[in-house]
Every structure is written in C-alpha cells, then in structure tokens.
Structure 1
Amino acid sequence: MGQQTDTGRRAPLSRDRVLHAAVALADGIGIEALSMRKLAQELGVVPMALYKHVANKEQLLDGMVDVVVGGIDPPAPGADWKSAVRQRILSARRTLLGHPWAAQVIQSRTSPTPVVLAYMDSVIGMFRTGGFSVDLTHHVMHALGSRMLGFAQELFDDAPSPDPGVTAAAATEAARRYPYVTELAMAVAHDGESVVGRGCDDQFEFEFALDLLLDGFERLRRQGWTSGR
C-alpha cells in the first residue's frame, strides 16, 4: 500500500478545529496580528475554506471567546455561595491570564456570546440559590462588572514612568499640587508588569477587591437590603 498523503492524514476541518487553532494562533502572535489568511495558513487550507465554518472575523472572535470561557472550571459542588462564586471567578482569572488577548476581545463584543451568557447565568444562579433577592443580585452583578470574568478595568493601565526631562523643581511643584497622589506613588516600588501599577501584586489586589465585594454582598443579604431603601 502506498504512503498516505498529508491531505489524507490531516484532520477534517471543522468549526471546533478552526476556533481552537485561532485561539492558539492568537496566543502566539497576538490578537492584532490574527487574520483569516494567517489562520488558513496555520491550518493548511485556503482562506475560503474557513468561511464554511465562520462567516467573518467577528464570528471568529465570538467563537474564540466561547472557547476560552468554556475552559473555566465548573462550579464546585456543595460549596456555599461565597466559596462557589470566589472559586468560579478565580478560575476565570486563571483562564483569561492564559490568553492575554481574551479580556480585550470580550470587552469588544456588542453582546455576550452563548458561552459567556451561560457563565453569567451560572454565577447569577449561585447568588440566587444562596439566598439573594433578584433586586440585590442585580446590583451585585453591576458591582462585580468585568471582575466576574476575572479581569479588572483599572482607571489607569499603568503608573507613569518618571520623565528624565522633568526638573527637580517641577517634580517638587507636582508633589505640592498633588500630595496624596505623590505619597501613594512613592509608597511602593512599582514594577512594569502590573496592571494596577508598577510593583503592585495583581493577583493580591484582585483577590483583595473580590473579597471585599463578597463580604459586602453577604452583609447586605443578611440585612435583607433592597434598592428601595
């Protein structure tokens, strides 16, 4: 029997294969560099073959979001609402940190994708079965915002780098005008890899804020809080 050709050995193209290849490619080259042509090259097909499985680039991005969010760990069985929500959100964070482009793409969607909706439904369900009213759950979801999916939208992406052209007099004047900003900025030796500011521990800051929110939600639940008060 003759040797099997590359075409014969190649797995048949499917939507699932296209989406997983796109996620892997974006992980490697970045979401900005991803294109249908590059994805087709990666899969060893002509670009038109992709359009049998995804209608356009936007549908491709929707599917990639669903692949990533679908990798979040399922809810822990038997856990109380706070532990279950915390575990689910921290799993979402670990998952999205493995795909640095994912948060940007999720924020760019005009409406939630099916898997994102299912994830949201699961988180909402944890609060509802944990004794939260519909009213309080509504406000809880607003308070969590993007943190529910494991990322925080910071006011500033980074602390500004010192400008070598700034004179000592100008720096002194800035410190006089903005004393508390200066005090806080000088309190930590910052590191450029952090989202919340150079030197801040992103994971610590994320969990710190998440735990504050969860503790606050529990206090309101116990009080029977409603937005009408």
Structure 2
Amino acid sequence: MVEQADPLRRTPLSRDRILRAAVTLADEAGIESLSMRNLAQDLGVVPMALYKHVANKDELLDGMIDVVVGEIDPLVPEADWKQTVRGRILSARRVLLRHPWAPLAIESRNMATAAILAYLDSMVGALRAGGFTADLAHHVMHAMGSRILGFSQELFDASRQAGRSGPTKPDPPAPLPPEVAARFPHLAEIATASSHDNESVVGQGCDDQFEFEFSLDLLLDGIERLQRQGWTSSPRPR
C-alpha cells in the first residue's frame, strides 16, 4: 500500500501559503530566524520555489505585514467615531501582541504597505465621517502616531533600543537608592504609586495594557474636545 503524502506537502504552493507560513515561523522563533532557506524547509520545498511567488525577502516582509494587518477587526459602520477608533486600535494591539515581531517590521519599512495604507485611510475616513475637518484629522493622525496601529515605542523598551524583536523579560529594576530617591522625590513617588505587571517593558509598577489604554483615552478625550470646539491649525489673529 502506498503511504499517503503529508497533506502540507501536497498543498499547492501559493503566495498566501508562503506568507502565512512566514508569519508562523516569525511568531514561533522570532523575525531574526526568518530566512528564505528556513521558510522553504518548513514548507517542504526548495528555496528557489519561493521566488516564483515572492521576489525577495523585502517583498516577503511586506506581505507578512499585510497578513497581520488583515487580522485587525474591520470598522463598525455608522458607529460613534470615538468608540470606532478606540475599538479598532485595541483590536490592532491584540493582533500585534500575537505577533510581537510585527511592530519592528512595520517601523523598518521605507514605505507603508498596501494593507497599512488601507487601514490608515479607513481610520481617517472614520474621523471625517464623525465630523472632523481634514485639517483636524491630519493633526490627529500625527498625534496618534504608531498608536493608531496598536503599538507605541516605550521609553525604556530595551528590545527596541537594541533593534531586537520578540517578547522579552527584562530583569526587574532595583529600588531607587535612598540618596537618589531623596534627590528625585517625585520619581520615587510614582515608581511605587501602582503595581500591576512585574513583566512590563517599563519595569515594576507599570501595566503595559493599562498604560496603553490610559494614553489612548487621554488622546481621544482631547481630540473629542478639539473637534467639538471646531479647532483649526490656522493662525489665530493676535
């Protein structure tokens, strides 16, 4: 009796299959492990077979980003702009937490991919539908920065500063020495003001999810106030 071939190997090679396999490889082993050779080995093909569907590694990364962005929840039609924007940004954050290599990959590209451009365009559309002028929407997108895509560059994130990707577990920071705490009492005070997440990228006392949502809500509340006031960047008469 002839043994049945591995179903994975019998599946025809396609661009979509290659991209999804690359995303899985990056999720499991980190983006630094990704190479055309390793990817071909996972797919059970020779490396040259990949080049019929993706021209090079840059095109592969662009396609992987588009796969990830495609996992973000779609816009909710005819919903309040603030809830729509907030919900979609938090959906993007959940997606990027599943793919911890993706923020650095997104930041590394010289040009935004098609899926990112479509995502950003739809978010501007949600603002415009909510009564924002194009002027205000322009500045809102600048203010939101990478948060619009569900991530922010943390001040003390060593993995970003070192150019590495993937989840990290930094050593907990040592308590401030008494002489330092005396010199910087406000820093010492906020360092112990709350305790949520001991594995936060910014150290003990900070909860990544809480801090992200706090910043997001702070921005959205301010944006809502400006929108209601009919804010414009045009110079005001003196």
Matched to 2:106, the amino acid is I
Deviates more, 1:107-116 or 1:179-188: 179-188
1:117-168: CA deviation from partner (whole Å, max 9, x where unpaired): 00000000000111111111111001100100111112222796218xxxxx
1:191-219: CA deviation from partner (whole Å, max 9, x where unpaired): 44213432422222211111111111111
Contact 2:89 2:149 in 1 (8 A): yes
Specify the SS of the correspondent of 2:177.
Answer: helix
| Alignment partner, residue 167 of structure 1 | none
| Alignment partner, residue 214 of structure 1 | 220
Matched to 2:70, the amino acid is G
Superposed displacement of residue 17, structure 1: 0.5
Aligned equivalents of 2:7, 2:48: Cα separation in 1 = 17
Aligned equivalents of 1:26, 1:60: Cα separation in 2 = 12
- Equivalences, count: 223
Matched to 2:215, the amino acid is A
Matched to 1:49, the amino acid is A
1:77-117: CA deviation from partner (whole Å, max 9, x where unpaired): 22111111111111111111111111111111111100000
Specify the SS of the correspondent of 2:178.
Answer: helix
Superposed displacement of residue 182, structure 1: 2.1
Report percent identity of matched pairs.
68
Contact 1:127 1:137 in 2 (8 A): yes
Aligned CA RMSD, in angstroms, stands at: 2.2
| Alignment partner, residue 171 of structure 1 | 177
Contact 2:191 2:205 in 1 (8 A): no
Aligned equivalents of 1:227, 1:26: Cα separation in 2 = 42
- Cα distance change on mapping 1:109 and 1:87 into 2, 3 Å: same
- Cα distance change on mapping 1:8 and 1:179 into 2, 3 Å: closer
Q: Which runs of 5+ in 1 are unaligned?
A: 164-169
Specify the SS of the correspondent of 1:73.
Answer: coil
Aligned equivalents of 1:207, 1:190: Cα separation in 2 = 14
Question: Which residue among 171, 174, 179 is the counterpart of 1:162?
Answer: 174
Matched to 2:214, the amino acid is F
What is the TM-score when the length of structure 1 is the normalising length? 0.89
Contact 1:66 1:113 in 2 (8 A): yes
Matched to 1:221, the amino acid is Q
Aligned pair 1:193/2:199, yes or no?
Answer: yes
Question: Which residue among 209, 213, 218 is the counterpart of 1:203?
Answer: 209
| Alignment partner, residue 86 of structure 2 | 86
| Alignment partner, residue 73 of structure 1 | 73
What is the TM-score when the length of structure 2 is the normalising length? 0.86
Contact 2:135 2:233 in 1 (8 A): yes
Aligned equivalents of 2:34, 2:95: Cα separation in 1 = 20
- Cα distance change on mapping 1:115 and 1:206 into 2, 3 Å: same
Contact 1:193 1:199 in 2 (8 A): no
Deviates more, 1:191-200 or 1:74-83: 191-200
Aligned equivalents of 2:178, 2:2: Cα separation in 1 = 80
| Alignment partner, residue 40 of structure 1 | 40
